[in-house]
């Protein structure tokens, strides 16, 4: 990983806004050089967010209690819980809600695409092992489950209600059983 990325990730985890001008100054490079190396601020933040998400995904599946529908529900709600319990993530969501939603829930960033791909692989594995009978084609189901999870991470931004991982668990369980 690049020094630019590492510093941006460090700032994000510290709850600091990743400002491209300040980042360039801290790296002793021009903004133009920074943009050439990492792309836009949104692209850089997307990669920072993905680095945190992918680490969570890697930890979650092995620690999920069950397999099949129960394991998938544990996985999705665990992912939601980790996001909801992350001070740097919640700070980012409070500080820049529109950007956060765009980067995490649309094609504007790598996060949703990669999360859906990871969940699709997990679902396909469970189906191949005979532990899950997907009610939809696996890619569509993965997308829907990601959207369910997102709904219970961004609830406070969208509806004003408190985020609740247990609701994600209940929704995924209802869909898969």
pLDDT tens per residue across span 12-53: 999 999 999 999 999 999 999 999 999 999 999 999 999 999
Arithmetic mean of pLDDT, 80-95:
95
Whether residue 64 has pLDDT greater than 80? no
DSSP per-residue letters across 57-108? HHHHHHH-S-SHHHHHHHHHHHHHHHHHT-HHHHHHHHHSHHHHHHHHHSTT
For residue 65, what pLDDT is reported? Answer: 64
Whether 109 and 103 have beta carbons less than 8 Å apart is answered as yes
**Would you state the pLDDT for residue 63?**
78
- Asked if residue 109 has pLDDT above 90, the reply is no
Write down the pLDDT at residue 1: 63
- Which is higher by pLDDT, 1 or 117? 117
Residue pLDDT, tens place only, 147-177:
999 999 999 888 889 999 999 999 999 999 9
**Mean pLDDT over the full length of the chain:** 94
Report how far apart the first and last C-alpha atoms of the chain are (Å, whole number): 41
Say whether pLDDT at 75 is over 90. Answer: yes
Compute CA 43 distance to the chain's CA centroid, rounded to the nearest angstrom: 14
Joined tokens for residue 50: 């993905």
Provide the residue ranges of all domains of the chain, joining segments of one domain with +. Answer: 1-39, 41-176
pLDDT of residue 136: 98
Structural class in CATH, domain 41-176? mainly alpha
The pLDDT, as a whole number, for residue 171 is: 98
Residue 131 banded pLDDT, cuts 50, 70, 90: very high
């Amino acid at each position: 990983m690049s020094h630019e990325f590492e510093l941006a990730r460090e700032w994000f985890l510290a709850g600091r806004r990743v400002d491209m001008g300040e980042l360039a100054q801290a790296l002793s490079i021009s903004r133009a050089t920074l943009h050439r190396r990492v792309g836009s601020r949104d692209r850089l933040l997307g990669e920072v967010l993905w680095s945190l998400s992918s680490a969570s995904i890697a930890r979650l599946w092995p620690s999920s209690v069950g397999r099949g529908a129960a394991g998938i529900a544990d996985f999705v709600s665990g992912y939601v819980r980790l996001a909801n319990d992350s001070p740097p993530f919640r700070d980012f969501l409070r500080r820049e809600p529109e950007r956060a939603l765009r980067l995490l829930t649309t094609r504007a960033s790598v996060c949703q695409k990669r999360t859906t791909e990871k969940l699709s692989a997990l679902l396909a594995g469970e189906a191949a092992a005979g532990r899950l009978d997907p009610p939809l084609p696996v890619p569509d189901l993965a997308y829907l489950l990601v959207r369910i999870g997102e709904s219970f991470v961004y609830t406070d931004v969208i509806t004003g209600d408190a985020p609740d991982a247990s609701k994600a668990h209940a929704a995924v369980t209802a869909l898969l059983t």
